[in-house]
Amino acid sequence: MAKIIGLIALIGVVLSSGCSGGSQHGDLNDFMADVRAKPSGEVKPLPTFRSYKTFSYSAMAMRSPFEPPMELAVTNSISGEGKVDPPDENRKKEYLERYNFAALSMVGTLSKSEQIWSLVNDGSGGIHRVATGNYMGKNHGRIISITNSKINVIEVVPDGKGEWVERPRTLALKEKD
């Protein structure tokens, strides 16, 4: 048994001396010494990025430049006479008169007894309650009737010849997409 232990010890010594290799890796040792001798560099910090600022497209409610302008016929007047009195510019403007009519959308109705109100989205995330007689849109639009599915509005607009005419508009209930 002593011979076997001695033989294993001898084999271990021979194998470990074979791994030392002396000068076989001299070029690798020289390269590593050169790299370690050079001054170490610094890693530049990451640049700071400004946060993304969202863009709100506000021309969505305007008429498309690729569509022809609306023709206003004198027969569009509710009174039947064609021409109407100019709108009262001294009247206090209601909140929904700040928005183009195309930007507004009807999203629902409320009713109590005989009174019916409509819920209108202003396009900016606000929901407003309106009733018959309220004004909406930039063209002096007055609500003349409200049903469960639409709002009928009469706008008073210039006819381009110095006179004013009435133009009927309808705001239909917006269905869910």
Residue 135 lies in a domain: yes
Mean pLDDT of 64-84: 61
Residue 12 lies in a domain: no
82 or 91, which is more confident?
A: 91
Residue 78 lies in a domain: no
Residue 127 lies in a domain: yes
Residue 83 lies in a domain: no
Per-residue pLDDT tens for 127-172?
A: 999 999 999 988 889 999 999 889 999 998 888 778 888 889 888 8
Residue 176 lies in a domain: yes
Residue 15 lies in a domain: no
Give dist(CA 147, CA 173) in Å, integer.
Answer: 10
Give the domain CATH number at 161. 2.30.30.830
pLDDT value of residue 131: 92
**How many domains does the chain fold into?**
1
Residue 51 lies in a domain: no
Per-residue pLDDT tens for 5-50?
A: 888 888 887 777 666 655 677 888 889 899 888 888 788 888 888 8
Domain that holds residue 100: 94-177
83 or 118, which is more confident?
A: 118
Mean pLDDT of 41-63: 78
78 or 110, which is more confident?
A: 110
Q: Is the pLDDT of residue 77 over 50?
A: no
Contact between residue 167 and residue 154 where contact means Cβ atoms under 8 Å apart = yes
163 or 175, which is more confident?
A: 163
Contacts of 151 (CB under 8 A, 6+ apart): 106, 118, 120, 130, 143, 145, 170, 171
